[in-house]
Structure 1
Amino acid sequence: MLARIRTDHRHILTLLNLLHQKIERLQAGQEVNLTLLRDVIYYLLRYADCSHHPLEDILYRYYLEKMGSSDQVSQLEVEHQSLRRATENLLDTLNTILNDVVVPRERLIQGIQEFVSMQTRHLTYEEQHILPLMEAEFTDEDWQQLDQQVASKLMDDPLFGRGGDQDFEDLRSYLVDAE
């Protein structure tokens, strides 16, 4: 399970790096493919916010039940809610622009910058502090119980998974070409 979470984190970081590159292009006054940006944000909403984070939330609740109160763990579920709102807001902004409503470039740049920063900070904290903590504390029995609890939250990754969801075909092609 931790391997899956870490793989998801690597994939999310790949997309955050892509967003960072697009920020630099926007700041330089260059054009960017806004549909591609929207696809990145839509993926994060559809997969990270609907499967990945709920899976982590189950782990966090289990940890709190087993180990007791922990500020560093309990804050993460709240952060997931904040990340979802930020994702929805950025997706709304991109859809607004794609529907030919003028949004100042600076507002778009700032929104993407804040989003990337928020996501990166969250992932780094989980990777450096929370996942090692759970790895050290959970027994094989704990992991077996958690596997049963998270089964309903698991879904195939629509971008990086084997199935290859059509909604993300252009983004997938872009990532393959970028390598």
Structure 2
Amino acid sequence: MMIERIRREHGYMVRLLAILRHKLNEIKQEHAINYSLVSEIVDYLSNHSEKVHHPKEDILYHYFLEHYGQQKTIENLELEHKELAEKTKQFALVVEMILQDAVVPQEMFTQQLEDFITTQKQHLDLEERQILPLIEELFTSEDWLNVESQWQESEDDPVFGDTIADRYKQLAERVRQSNVEFV
């Protein structure tokens, strides 16, 4: 079901944000970090969110508003998705500058990384704590069938799926390591 896939993707995102939080703590302790791994995470969050995750959520939100009336929190989510995409692109540019050996003050990068993590986490929390429970409470089986029929995209995840994309090999390996760390 669509809601389970969305929640599973949220779980993936939370895991990636935890890796970024670990990198942030490393920077604050003045340890070197792997910026290319940070770049892969940001790239994955940007690409997967824009192409798969947010469009799927937007189907739910539009359907909800059409059939259950206006909800200010839900009305704002599509705009929030656009703002998140823009913030992610901006942060990705900073990471890319670092990878290209541009001088980026550590304090500025640290603040931007912290803001990026916080913004992403707040968005996920809003959806998980308020939006999705409301939708689950009100949607009928027919509603779920209707939204499912609107989603025709492939859901092969390039990091967490069966086939790992070449550009995410390092990230997929790090995710597998973190799975072992939490066992």
TM-score by length of 2: 0.94
Q: Which residue of 2 aligns with 1:77?
A: 78
Is residue 121 of structure 1 aligned with residue 125 of structure 2? no
Q: Distance in 2 between matches of 1:177 and 1:57?
A: 32
**1:104 alignment counterpart:** 105
Aligned length: 178
Q: Residue type matched to 2:142 in 1?
A: E
Deviations 1:53-106 (A, max 9, x none): 111011101100001111011111111111101110111001111111100011
Q: For 1:97 and 1:75, how far apart are their aligned partners in 2? A: 33
Aligned position for 1:175: 175
Q: Separation in 1 of the partners of 2:51 and 2:105?
A: 30
**1:39 corresponds to:** 40
Whole-angstrom distance in 1 between the partners of 2:108 and 2:55: 30
Q: Which residue of 1 aligns with 2:136?
A: 135
Alpha-carbon distance in 1 for matches of 2:64, 2:165: 33
C-alpha distance in 1 between matches for 2:141 and 2:152: 17
Percentage of identical aligned residues: 35
Alignment-mate amino acid for residue 174 of structure 1: R
Separation in 2, partners of 1:46, 1:162? 18
User: What is the TM-score normalised by the length of structure 1?
Assistant: 0.96
Unaligned runs of 5+ in 2: none
Deviation at 1:49, TM superposition (A): 2.2
- For residues 156 and 81 of structure 1, what CA distance do their matches in structure 2 show? 23
2:68 is matched with 67
Deviation readout 1:111-134 (Å, 9 max, x if unpaired): 110011001011011101111111
**4+ long deviations beyond 3 Å:** none
Cα-Cα RMSD: 1.0
For 2:155 and 2:3, the matched residues in 1 are separated by 15
